[in-house]
Amino acid sequence: MSQPKNLVVAQSGGPSPVINNTLRGIVEMARDCQEIGKVYAARHGIEGVLREELLDLSAQCPDEVSLLRYTPAAGSIGTCRYKLLSNQQEDFERVIDVLRAHDVGYFIYIGGNDSMDTANKIAQLGQARGLDLVGIGGPKTIDNDVGDTEFKLIDHTPGYGSAAKYWMHAVQNANEENRGSCPADPVLVMQAMGRKIGFIPAAARLADPHREMPLQIYMAENPCSLEQLASQVNDQLRADGRCLVVISEGFDVGDLG
């Protein structure tokens, strides 16, 4: 039987409410896997690998690790926004050197699309440099945009469910605010995250499944002109005296932005 190899896990991008639960699952499963030795966490994502700031999660008490299930955000091991671009060969080589120095055979990067790509590139370079390295992406994006469009590989990404629930409550609260302030402010606009995909703004409909609110939802996937949008809002105002608009950050607003 070959000697166990160590594992490095890192987080990237904006944290989701359940990102630490993914981390917990990795640590607990690795503990029961004979092929894995120590589990290291890179402090503040890939930047922690570059700086060789690795935390030994294997040394943590199992009861402490289990608390990650209920720990929000990414404060436990930190995250980063640093991207390894294709032309940054020096950074890639540094990552491989650090992983080799710590006898790492498994690298897990929790994040969005860029993180999945980075994990793959690091694994490929490691193999090319003679390092037996497995790269794994841990999907984490509240936008729900990691995976295939048919949702056969990934039916949802951890974090989206929490974001959808948040928006359901946010729209319900905004509806009450709009109802109370409509004589002075008849239109209330809320912008939802999601540059290219509209799962979060679509979740606003959960607040009004019977379509009783004067709610309009605009997503990048279903574009319309500003003139059309204004016309539809005005129609809503004539019908209900107020309008609640949820719009995706990726919606094309033309000259406005």
pLDDT tens profile 96-117? 999 999 999 999 999 988 899 9
Share of the chain above pLDDT 70, in %: 99
Looking at residue 16, its pLDDT comes to 78
| Residues identified as active-site | 143
Q: What is the CATH number of domain 5-140?
A: 3.40.50.450
The pTM score is 0.85
Range list for CATH 3.40.50.460 in the chain: 165-256
Looking at residue 257, its pLDDT comes to 58
Q: Which helix (H) or strand (E) holds 117?
A: helix 113-128
pLDDT tens profile 185-244? 999 999 998 878 899 999 999 999 999 999 999 999 999 999 999 999 999 999 999 999
By residue count, the chain amounts to 257
Q: DSSP secondary structure string, 193-229?
A: S-SS--HHHHHGGGG-TT--S-EEEE-TTS---HHHH
- What is the rounded average pLDDT of the residues 29-42? 96
Place of tokens 């295939």: 148
Q: What is the CATH number of domain 165-256?
A: 3.40.50.460
Range list for CATH 3.40.50.450 in the chain: 5-140
